[in-house]
Amino acid sequence: MTTEVVDMITVVVDGFEVSVPKGTLVIRAAEKLGIQIPRFCDHPLLDPVGACRQCLVDIEINGRAFPKPQASCTIPVEPGMIVKTQLTSPVAEKAQRGVMELLLINHPLDCPVCDKGGECPLQNQAMSNGQGETRFEGVKRTFQKPINISSQVLLDRERCVLCARCTRFSEQIASDPFITLNERGALQQVGIYENKPFESYFSGNTVQICPVGALTGAAYRFRARPFDLVSTPSACEHCASGCDMRTDVRRGKTLRRLAGDDSTVNEEWNCDKGRWAFKYVTSVERLTTPMVRNSSGELVAASWPEALAAAAKGLKASKAAVLVGGRATYEDAYGYSKFARVALGTNDIDFRSRLSSNEEREFLAARVVGSTTTYLDIDRADHVLLVGFEPEEESPIVFLRLNKQVRKRALKVTAIATKLSIGVEKLKGEFVKVAPGAEAAAITSQSLNAKSVILVGERAAESAGVLSAVAALADSSSAKIAWIPRRAGERGALEAGAIGNLLPGGRPVTDASARVDIAAVWGTDSLPSAEGKSTQEIYAATNAGEIGALVVGGVDPLDGENSQSALAALEKAFVVSLEIASSAVTQHADVVLPVAAVTEKSGSFLNWEGRPRSFDAAVQDSLNRSDLRILSMIAEEMGTSINLGTVSAAIKEIASLGKWDGARASMSKVSAPAVPTVSGDQFILTSWRRLLDLGTLQQGEENLAGTARATVAVISPKRAGALGVVDGDKLKISTSLGSVTLSALVEDIHDDALWAPRNSRGSQLLVNLGVAHGAVVSVVKA
């Protein structure tokens, strides 16, 4: 790594010298000295615009003074510059007071009804840099209020000070220019396009950066004041991007979540799902007491000792396996991993409750576990290849990072996909169009180098041979691989060994010295040595009678392929379910144990980089216990203690395990099967999950669901012509299991392929069709 040589420039601000890198803005140089110049439009992550004029200061360069005060947010420092802010220059002070008075002329005095009241930069700076009395005697300009610019963002135009933060964010950061400044003069206002709603996955950020109460969120409207809220730094549980967040709780209920400031990860931004999808904790009917299935087959409430005894008895009675969803925290996943090995004596554990393959499992063990590709590698890459990964939908902060580099230095992005997505279009990416299942060949023909990064999504596992091709390409080009799953807990579960072929820390289970390592720390004589089964194999073995009991935590059986087999297995086996609310699993469970939701416990997630994102309990006085604690209690009851009573005990134990320095598991090459040929009304189905869809963690948030993208079936112009279909016509897509009917959208997609959202309103492919990718479906105009 080369250290960049930075030219430093020394300037004087209010009589104090400060050295800052060349190109630094005056307002930032003053900040470095702790001198705060009032401002509204200035934001360190947005291009300067000088719209509000609040930051006026007196500037003199080499003895020559500017004739009038200048906006310090637009002027970079220069050698010999002497800056006088409002603290030392009466001229600057008067200018700022004047600007404030002008800004307040049309600003309504409705602070009591405004959500921003109490945390409003305009309120604060009017107090610190304004004057108490107004000289304006006319009538204030008013607008009709408020207007919904989307179902979750409301605009009060009369409060707007025209700082253009929201419009600049939309254009520069999110590349969703659906909001702009209209009109001129006193009537200038923020507006949306008549025909296009403000449909952005990042619109919540505009609410957070609005320096007045002009943009407010529908979910938080009139709900609280800042002094009511107890704020806890937290981590986002929605995806593997790993955003730093702040959770604001009033009386045990989460009222809002804000993006935290972590320049290495989310840079003060987050997506709308992370910001607004938090009601699932309170909107669903939570499980409050343990339940045990009685002799007549009904689930009845039971005491903890009774339920734990029943669970222990059932798990000891037959061979058991563990299914843990991708949403468990790192510590909880570690608890499941240890529980499977120590208490159940099996390696049959899998965190992948989705479409997955054994090729993927080998890829994860050989390439992903312990890998150190980070956001910084994206920042420095010369070429980013997206494989089975749709950043805007599946990991929005990765999208923002890519977009930043695309905008800044025209980073080359190539997407190997079946369909050109909106996100890739915004990234000005090269779209390599392939048929579903034919991705591997396209990967092999890419030329990368050591500065390139391959971003592999979890959907890469859905086409055989893709991950082998990725590994081969990385080997031949020395490009870096980053595996970016959708769910927040998957990387942590992988590192914790919640998968059949790995022990914690990436130790292969088949490696004797790795087993000795772990057995020594766990204080057991030996660990099972055979590789465990995958999710699908566990369900199949249960149906075949080989496995008699299942421990299931945070799994939706309808998320994977072959959900009938999953449901049959849950029906057949003795199931211990650890859940926050009743689900398809608890309906079949024999023992149901209520657990804490993310806001009620501490812990951490590992984001896709493997970076720990730890958080404390936001709701302090919850009586719910974490999965880890409950597993510990079951193990105790079974007579094989796992000694993980608290999160800190798990953290300590994980740290004492250390990193694996032995040989990595190897990966056997899988060659891609032939792509099915289709004709007539046949299509190969392809899909991905949208960011905003019918996900379990988005329950109860109607305003958020209102901005989800329309549910459509995408086909190519050529096939549309053959079928006689135009945009908006209904298409009936069917398999032997069932059918869905969707509106058609003719777009840039492979001729053989039909794309539909995987889990959106009206299009739950895995439930309705039983398939989601690579399968042949028949399509007729309905």
Partner 1 sequence: MSEQLEPLKKSEISVNDIAYTQMETGESVGLLGHLKGFWIPFSKMFKKTLTVEYPEVKAPTAERFHGRHQLNRHPDGLEKCIGCELCAWACPADAIYVEGANNTPENQMSPGERYGKVYQINYLRCVFCGLCIEACPTRALTMTNEYELADESRAKLIFEKEDLLAPLRQGMLMPPHPMYPDMDDSNYYKGDVKQSHPSQDVK
Binding interface with partner 1 (CB under 8 A)? 111-113, 117-118, 145-146, 221-225, 227-228
* Chain centroid offset of residue 756 CA: 21
Label residue 307 exposed, middle or buried (CB < 10 Å: 0-12, 13-18, 19+): buried
Q: Provide the token pair at 561.
A: 């392929």
Beta carbon of residue 224, minimum distance to partner 1 (angstroms, whole number): 7
User: What is the SS3 assignment for 364?
Assistant: helix
DSSP letter, residue 758: S
Cα–Cα distance, 740 to 763 (Å, whole number) = 6
List the one residue out of 366, 299, 368, 234 whose CA is nearest residue 591.
299
Q: Identity (one letter) of the amino acid at 676?
A: P
Cα–Cα distance, 448 to 427 (Å, whole number) = 19
Checking DSSP bridges between strand 574-579 and strand 591-594, what pairing results, if any? parallel
Beta carbon of residue 148, minimum distance to partner 1 (angstroms, whole number): 12
Cα–Cα distance, 76 to 61 (Å, whole number) = 12
List the one residue out of 38, 53, 162 whose CA is nearest residue 106.
162
Cα–Cα distance, 370 to 354 (Å, whole number) = 22
Cα–Cα distance, 314 to 319 (Å, whole number) = 10
User: What is the SS3 assignment for 236?
Assistant: coil
User: What is the SS3 assignment for 54?
Assistant: coil
Cα–Cα distance, 527 to 530 (Å, whole number) = 9
Cα–Cα distance, 442 to 428 (Å, whole number) = 19
Contact 199, 170 (CB under 8 A): no
Helix spans in 527-562 (H) = 535-543
DSSP letter, residue 777: E
Give the CA distances from residue 404 to residues 242, 408, 712, in Å, rounded to whole numbers and listed in that order: 18, 6, 29
Q: Cβ closer to partner 1: 218 or 471?
A: 218
Beta carbon of residue 112, minimum distance to partner 1 (angstroms, whole number): 3
List the one residue out of 528, 523, 556 whose CA is nearest residue 349.
528
Contact 221, 117 (CB under 8 A): no
Residues with Cβ within 8 Å of 425's Cβ and at least 6 positions away in sequence, in order, are none
Cα–Cα distance, 420 to 134 (Å, whole number) = 55
Q: How far apart are the first and last CA of the chain?
A: 59
